[in-house]
Amino acid sequence: MTESAETQVKTIIDLRDITKSYFIGHPNEFQALTRVNIRIMQGEFVSVVGESGSGKSTLMNIIGALDRPTEGQYFLDSLDVGLESDYELSGVRNRKIGFVFQTFNLIPRTNALMNVELPMTYAKIPQRERQERAKYLLEMVGMGDRMKHQPNELSGGQKQRVAIARAMANDPAIILADEPTGALDSVTGHLVMDIFHKLHEKGKTIVLITHSQELAEETERIITLRDGEVTAERKGSGKKVGRT
């Protein structure tokens, strides 16, 4: 990434000296994140890797506007997330962030279509419009023929594809994926990665949080976290590598 590219491309995520401490003032106080500085540009496919306990979950919570940093500033799409109220944070999550979880987290007893519609429902988009978009998104992830299926009638890979469609619902600034292939076998996992690559090609900003080096290699940039600090940052291939 060169200086010129930086000025041309918009910064989507800007973490400045982010510190997150727990149990402040208690004997067992500890810092999950220490002075973390990360900038992610629009259209980038970035991975954050680290062992468990490295602080990547805490980082994900902060990037996902689920939590606020103890110190430092976080700008998401030029918005100072640290200053927002709980109510406004709900709106930020709703419109700016698309979550993909390891355990899919589809709403039970609610069909695929309704699951994809849900973020748009919270955004108060009229029913016809959101239904059309939900159908379009499900077709995009190859789930067009299973729109009326309930989560318990879908396989893991299918569930994750529905979850990705749901993450795309409000056309968010970033897709935040937390171990999206962690609960899938390698073949299905690769299918899911293929969808991320496809979204990336279309210009979506994607942040992938994983402990798998193999998956991280497929992204453009790999940020390594250890004991709450960024210890390494290097380029990845940004392509499907090492698999057929």
Partner 1 sequence: MNLLENIRLAFGSLLSNKMRAILTMLGIIIGIGAVIGIMTMGQSLSGYMSSTMQDIGVNNVTISLQAKEDDDQRAGSGNGMDAMRQQMLARLMGGQDEYTEKDLISEAMLANIEQYFSDEIDYISVTDSVGSGSATDGRKYANLSMMGVGTDYANANNVEMKAGRFITERDLEAGKKVAVVSEKLVGKMFGGTDPLGEQIHVTTDGKPGTYTIVGVYWYRQDVMAIPSTASEKNLSTNVYIPLSTANKITGNQGSQSVTIITKAGYDSAAFAKEAEDYFNNVFYSRNQNYRVSAFSMESMLDMMTDMLNTLQVAIAAIAAIALLVGGIGVMNIMLVSITERTREIGTRKALGATNGVIRMQFIIEAMIICLIGGVIGIGFGILIGNIGASILGFPAEASLFAIMLATGFSLAIGLFFGYYPANKAAKMDPIDALRYE
CB of 244 to partner 1, least distance (A): 35
Stretch that binds partner 1, among 115-123, 200-208, 221-229, 230-238 (CB under 8 A): 115-123
With beta carbons less than 8 A apart as the criterion, state whether 74 and 62 touch: yes
Total residues contacting partner 1 by CB under 8 A comes to 26
Tokens of 201: 């090609």
Contact region for partner 1 (CB under 8 A) — 29-37, 40-48, 101-109, 129-137?
101-109
Q: Is 241 exposed, middle or buried (0-12, 13-18, 19+ CB in 10 A)?
A: exposed
Shorter beta-carbon distance to partner 1: residue 65 or 223: 65
Contact between 31 and partner 1 per CB under 8 A: no
Contact of 59 with 68, CB cutoff 8 Å: no
Q: Which of the residues 59 through 98 are near partner 1 (CB under 8 A)?
A: 61, 64, 66-67, 86-87, 90-91, 93-95
Q: CA of 244: how far to CAs of 91, 187, 194, 239, 240, in Å?
A: 41, 10, 12, 12, 8
119 binds partner 1 (CB under 8 A): yes
Calpha distance 57→207 (Å, rounded): 13
Q: Output 41 or 207, the one with its CB closest to partner 1.
A: 207
Of 8-16, 45-53, 104-112, 213-221, which part binds partner 1 (CB under 8 A)? 104-112
Residue 108 contacts partner 1 per CB under 8 A: yes
Residue from 19, 21, 34, 105 touching partner 1 (CB under 8 A): that is 105
Over the window 176 to 205, marking each residue x when it contacts partner 1 by CB under 8 A and - when it does not, the resulting string is ------------------------------
The span of 35-43, 99-107, 193-201, 216-224 binding partner 1 (CB under 8 A) equals: 99-107
Binder of partner 1 out of 31, 170, 181, 224 (CB under 8 A): 170
Q: Which residues bind partner 1 (CB under 8 A)?
A: 61, 64, 66-67, 86-87, 90-91, 93-95, 99, 101, 105-110, 118-119, 121-123, 166, 170
